[in-house]
C-alpha cells in the first residue's frame, strides 16, 4: 500500500523514489536511528517532517549533489542546509584539520591544493613543530 501522500508530490510512486525524496527520507531516518546524530541533538525541524514542506524550501536535488548541513553542529532546517557536491561535503566534515594562514581558514587539503605541497607533508610539518608559515611556504626538497 502506498503512503497517502505519495501521489500528491509525485516523488514516490510505482515503487520508485526521486533522488530528492530519497535524500529527504534518509535525513529523517538518520536523525531517528543514527546515534552519531541523535546523541548530538541533531534533529529535523518540525516543518520538514512533511516532504512537501522540505521540497518547497529546498527544491529539486541538482544532479551530482546531496543534502548538506552547513554547520555540522546544528540540525536540518532551511537556513542550515544546501545541496552540495561530494567534494564540498568532504571539506565540511567535523574531522577536517583547519589551518589559518594570512587571515584565511581552509582545510589542510585546500592548502595543499593552493601551495602544491603534499597534504601529508604539511600535516607532518605541523605535527613536528613547524610554524604554519614554514609548513605552507617552504618547498619540499
Q: Tens digit of pLDDT for each residue in 11-62?
A: 766 668 899 999 999 999 999 888 888 888 999 999 999 999 999 999 999 9
CB within 8 A of 58, min separation 6: which ones? 20, 67, 78, 81, 83
Q: Please, what is the average pLDDT of the chain?
A: 89
Say how far apart CA 116 and CA 25 lie, in whole Å: 40
Give the global pTM: 0.70
- 106 and 77 in a single domain? The answer is no
CB 49 within 8 A of CB 28: yes
**Eight-state DSSP code of residue 76:** B
- 86 and 37 in a single domain? The answer is yes
- 85 and 118 in a single domain? The answer is no
pLDDT at site 6: 46
Range with lowest mean pLDDT among 11-15, 41-45, 96-100, 129-133: 11-15
- 61 and 80 in a single domain? The answer is yes
27 is a domain residue = yes
1 is a domain residue = no
Q: Which structural domain range is residue 120 located in? A: 98-137
pLDDT at site 116: 95
54 is a domain residue = yes
Say how far apart CA 18 and CA 59 lie, in whole Å: 12
Amino acid at each position: 500500500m502506498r503512503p497517502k501522500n505519495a501521489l500528491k508530490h509525485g516523488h514516490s510512486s510505482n515503487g520508485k523514489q526521486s533522488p530528492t525524496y530519497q535524500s529527504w527520507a534518509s535525513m529523517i531516518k538518520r536523525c531517528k536511528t543514527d546515534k552519531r546524530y541523535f546523541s548530538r541533538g541533531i534533529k529535523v525541524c518540525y516543518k520538514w517532517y512533511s516532504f512537501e514542506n522540505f521540497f518547497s524550501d529546498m527544491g529539486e536535488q541538482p544532479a551530482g549533489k546531496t543534502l548538506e548541513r552547513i554547520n555540522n553542529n546544528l540540525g536540518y532546517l532551511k537556513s542550515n542546509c544546501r545541496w552540495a557536491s561530494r567534494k564540498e561535503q568532504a571539506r565540511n566534515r567535523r574531522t577536517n584539520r583547519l589551518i589559518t594562514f594570512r587571515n584565511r581558514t581552509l582545510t589542510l587539503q585546500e592548502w595543499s591544493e593552493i601551495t602544491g605541497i603534499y597534504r601529508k607533508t604539511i600535516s607532518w610539518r605541523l605535527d613536528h613543530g613547524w610554524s604554519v608559515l614554514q609548513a605552507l611556504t617552504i618547498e619540499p626538497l
